[in-house]
Amino acid sequence: MSPLQLFKCLAEDTRLKILLLLSEHGELCVCELTCVLELSQPKVSRHLAELRKCALLADERRGKWVYYRLNDTLADWARELLALTAARNPDLLAPLYQNLQRMHDKPQSLCSQPASEESS
């Protein structure tokens, strides 16, 4: 993973938010991301596909849902860079966490979702 390739992935609003979210939150399925980001499903899915092709993300199907997380092979400096960016720019993620919270409080309010075990 070259720095240039990483920065190209981070240079788009949707992909940036996805990567920072997954850096902090660990794992989310596509429908959760779609709801949290308030974007169309094809748009989210297309960006996820790109991040998958760059080996930044790994996906895992569990039943109907496909969960995405940072790829285990991702270099440490890239992980540190994502963590640094997320920690130092809380304003960027705050509204997204609000959406995630609202979604788990009122499941039908925004979109469907998988059964939530517990929020980490």
Partner DNA sequence: TTCATATATATGATATTTCGCATGTAACTA
Partner DNA sequence: TAGTTACATGCGAAATATCATATATATGAA
Q: 88 or 106: whose CB is closer to its own copies?
A: 88
Among the listed residues 1, 54, 58, 66, the single contact to DNA using CB under 7 A? 66
Nearer to its own copies, 60 or 87 (CB): 87
| Residue among 79, 90, 68, 88 nearest 18 (CA) | 68
Binding to its own copies in span 43-82, by CB under 8 A: 75-77, 80-81
Q: The tokens 């748009």 sit on which residue?
A: 43
User: What are the residues facing 61 on neighbouring strands?
Assistant: 66
Of 21, 29, 70, 103, which lies in the binding site for DNA, with binding defined by CB under 7 A? 29
CA nearest 48: which of 58, 38, 39?
58
Please state, in angstroms and as integers, the Cα–Cα distance from residue 12 to each residue in 32, 73, 78, 112, following that order.
19, 22, 17, 26
- How far apart are CB 23 and DNA at their closest, in Å? 19
Binding site for DNA (CB under 7 A): 8, 11-14, 29-31, 34, 40-43, 45-50, 59, 61, 63-66, 111-113
